[in-house]
Amino acid sequence: MTTNSSPRLVELDSLRGIAAMIVVLHHAYLSILGAPSWLHWLVMETPLRPVGTGRQAVIFFFVLSGYVLTLALQRQEAKQRGGALTLPGWAQYALQRAVRLGLPVLAAVLVSAALQWAFWRGPLPEGTPHILGGAGWRVMWSWSDLLSQVLLLRSGDGFQLNPVLWSLVHEWRIALLLPLALLFRGRVALLLAVALLGAAVARLAGMPEGQVALGQSLPGSFAASAGFLPAFAAGAALALCPPPRLSRSHSLAAGISVAVMAMAAHDYGIIAASVLLILLAQRGATLARLLRRPVLLWLGRISFSLYLVHMPLLLALTHLCFGVLPPWLIAALAVPLSLPLAEAMNRLVEQPAHRLARRIPRPGGPQPALGRT
């Protein structure tokens, strides 16, 4: 889940990096048993709520993926008319996506499997936060279990080697449908209406509003994926009809709206905030300058790797230090240690995966590859 590295999109890289760090902090917060009341208030009743719930960052990932992928597909279409909507063009696009997502996922699952083999001594005691004792490392992995997680073929809490993979199930499936968004150029209202039907499918399947995750069965997970169509469609619509540059007053109003909607409990408020944030990053001069800071650009570059490696590290530290160090200290160690691990993953796996994907030829001869997502 990374963005195009062209100069026009570096601000979005930084936003994705910030969102990935929010997810890291969210899981660190969930791992602290009996967190103080003031901390709970801070991360649940203020604009810092994304740290408390984590969902806002994931929804933002989906909106941003819809935006960046649709931009890339439009560039491809401009170079080769109809290429993205032909079967060979779609197959090449799907193969690129499989390489760019699949190789880092494979590496992250193998890292987690190796760490569990080294440090797991059995399930943690009852009462341990669910993210550590229920969602992750409940039992020792088997080879068939490992394979199904690598292939993103699990549901519920099935991604016990790396619980964050639930979101990549939806990322992978819906990204395969995004070339169809090009059919809605000039008709983005219809695109959004069709996407809302996906939310209806999820609701009819019993998914609670604003809490859709993965479903409790493999068929149910497809209904859950449909529930996230509005997020991807909002990003695609923004790419298909970009608005004009924001004035200072518009930027101020959008910034206030983002801060307020960061506390939203419903996905639609988060989607709206995500669209405004992308607009501010691309067309609001003040935020754009801030997002070009080197440390944020670096965080953006390693964001996908950071998203993938932080949970295996948190699980490993918890099992290694359980009963020796207090939970808050384990969480405090996991956050900074995730950064060099993510840098290593980015250099050794993610960047080579991007280079490999770029070498996949397009139908009709070699052309520039799709932008990173």
* 240-250 residue pLDDT tens: 987 777 777 76
Cα atoms found within 13 Å of the Cα of residue 80, Cβ hemisphere only: 19
Query: Letter for the amino acid at 100?
Result: R
- Those residues with Cβ within 8 angstroms of residue 231's Cβ, 6 or more apart along the chain or in another chain: 59, 62, 63, 66, 267, 271, 274
Query: b/e for 312-349, b at 16 or more Cβ within 10 A?
Result: bbbbbbbbeebeeeebbebbebbbebbbebbbebbeeb
Residue 15 has a CB neighbour count (10 Å cut-off) of 26
Count of residues for the chain? 373
Q: pLDDT category, 46, cuts 50, 70, 90?
A: confident
Please report the pLDDT score of residue 372 as a whole number. 44
Query: Letter for the amino acid at 337?
Result: L
In this model, does residue 89 exceed pLDDT 80? yes
Contact 305, 1 (CB under 8 A): no
Average pLDDT over residues 324-352: 95
Residues 179, 175: Cα–Cα separation, whole Å: 8
Please report the pLDDT score of residue 318 as a whole number. 95
Q: pLDDT category, 361, cuts 50, 70, 90?
A: confident
In this model, does residue 368 exceed pLDDT 80? no
For the chain, the domains span: 7-358
Please report the pLDDT score of residue 128 as a whole number. 87
In this model, does residue 14 exceed pLDDT 90? yes
Average pLDDT over residues 95-104: 94
> Percentage of the chain surpassing pLDDT 70?
91
The single-letter DSSP state of residue 9 is G
Between 121 and 250, whose confidence is greater? Answer: 121
In this model, does residue 373 exceed pLDDT 70? no
Return the bridge partners of 325, or none. Answer: 322
Residue 6 has a CB neighbour count (10 Å cut-off) of 12
Distance of CA 244 to the CA centre of its chain: 27
* 137-190 residue pLDDT tens: 999 999 999 999 999 999 888 899 999 999 999 999 999 999 999 999 889 999
The single-letter DSSP state of residue 302 is T
Average pLDDT over residues 16-42: 91
In this model, does residue 130 exceed pLDDT 90? no
Between 308 and 83, whose confidence is greater? Answer: 308
Distance of CA 30 to the CA centre of its chain: 18
Query: Letter for the amino acid at 306?
Result: L
The single-letter DSSP state of residue 322 is B
| Average pLDDT of the chain, as a whole number | 87
Locate tokens 């395969």: which residue?
176
- What is the three-class DSSP state of 361? coil
Rounded to two decimals, what is the model's pTM? 0.90
Please report the pLDDT score of residue 363 as a whole number. 57
- What is the three-class DSSP state of 325? strand
Average pLDDT over residues 233-243: 90
Q: Is 158 left (phi over 0), alpha (psi -120 to 50) or beta?
A: alpha
Q: Show the 3-state SS of 173-200.
A: HHHHHHHHHHHHCCCHHHHHHHHHHHHH
Please report the pLDDT score of residue 283 as a whole number. 72
Residue 228 has a CB neighbour count (10 Å cut-off) of 28
Phi and psi at residue 27, in whole multiples of 5°? Answer: -70, -35
